[in-house]
Amino acid sequence: MDDLAAPAPASVGFTYTVAASQTLGLAVILVVGAWMGVYRGGFAWESPELQFNAHPLCMIVGMVFLQGDALLVYRIFRNESKRSTKILHGLLHALALVIALVGLIAVFEYHKKKSFPNMYSLHSWCGIAAFSFYLLQWLLGLVFFLCPGVSFSVRSRYKPQHVFFGVFLLVLSIATALLGILELLLFKIRDSYSSLVPEGVLANVLGLLLVAFGAALAYILTRDGWRRTPLAEEQALSMDFKTLTGGESPAGSP
């Protein structure tokens, strides 16, 4: 087992890029919180207007920040066991779903109390699609990667689809958030938006931060040199499991 690769240490560039992504993500949360708190009156479940303010904050925290961090788990935790990393990955996604669900309830209850129609805008269509497919993605990941009865070959065939849709759903979530920012500005400050009023400038900055956060995550996730190298014992276990299931001949065999 001595010839098996040890986990590659994180480079300085990797560390700084991850730190930058987290700084951008926290800045996004702070800016959306400041927007809702300073310009939209704050948060309160009893008041329809203030109840709505929970929607953008929850969706940003859940569908953007936590979803993005869940994707980084396999890059950041390079020396922990694969199973522990999987569980953390799944738990972060589960927390993101719960927080996003609170945001959805807030906006649907707001529409009901104000007698506004539901599901007519591009933002709402993209948003419900992102949440629905995100939930489905989480359930499929739970079945394929954490249930002990699923074979290695089935997991291997599903893994590329899981990875693709994970990245796609993050991109869709960020795009939906950008649509939501524009929609809210047009509803609330349509007449003054073009005059670069402070609220509009803050919202524009929020949009740029979202794009920058997504770009930082995309850079980290697409760098081959920053992928998690399996631990030696994981490589040995994987090879033994493939051999036992007929998925691959052992080394040295015909």
Q: Which two tokens stand for residue 207?
A: 């949009």
What's the confidence (pLDDT) of residue 149? 85
Q: In what helix (H) or strand (E) does residue 214 lie, and over which residues does it extend?
A: helix 198-222
What's the confidence (pLDDT) of residue 231? 55
Are the C-beta atoms of 202 and 31 separated by less than 8 Å? yes
Are the C-beta atoms of 63 and 100 separated by less than 8 Å? yes
Enumerate residues 6+ apart whose C-beta is below 8 A from 204. Answer: none
What's the confidence (pLDDT) of residue 39? 97
Domain ranges of the chain: 12-232
What's the confidence (pLDDT) of residue 181? 98
Enumerate residues 6+ apart whose C-beta is below 8 A from 124. Answer: 118
Say which CATH class 12-232 falls into: mainly alpha
What's the confidence (pLDDT) of residue 220? 96
Task: Catalogue the long-range contacts made by 178-181 (C-beta closer than 8 Å, 24 or more residues apart).
Answer: 178/207, 178/210, 178/211, 179/121, 179/122, 179/123, 179/126, 180/56, 180/59, 180/123, 180/127, 181/56, 181/206, 181/207
Residue that has been written with the tokens 């906006």 in this structure: 107
What's the confidence (pLDDT) of residue 3? 40
State pTM to two decimals. 0.87
What's the confidence (pLDDT) of residue 246? 47
Q: Which two tokens stand for residue 224?
A: 């081959």
What's the confidence (pLDDT) of residue 1? 38
What's the confidence (pLDDT) of residue 245? 45
Are the C-beta atoms of 75 and 221 separated by less than 8 Å? yes
Q: Mind listing the pLDDT tens digit of every residue in the chain (254 residues)?
A: 334 444 555 688 999 999 999 999 999 999 999 999 999 999 999 999 999 999 999 999 999 999 999 999 999 998 888 889 999 999 999 999 999 999 999 999 999 999 999 999 999 999 999 999 999 999 999 999 988 888 889 999 999 999 999 999 999 999 999 999 999 999 999 999 999 999 999 999 999 999 999 999 999 999 988 988 765 444 444 444 445 444 443 333 33
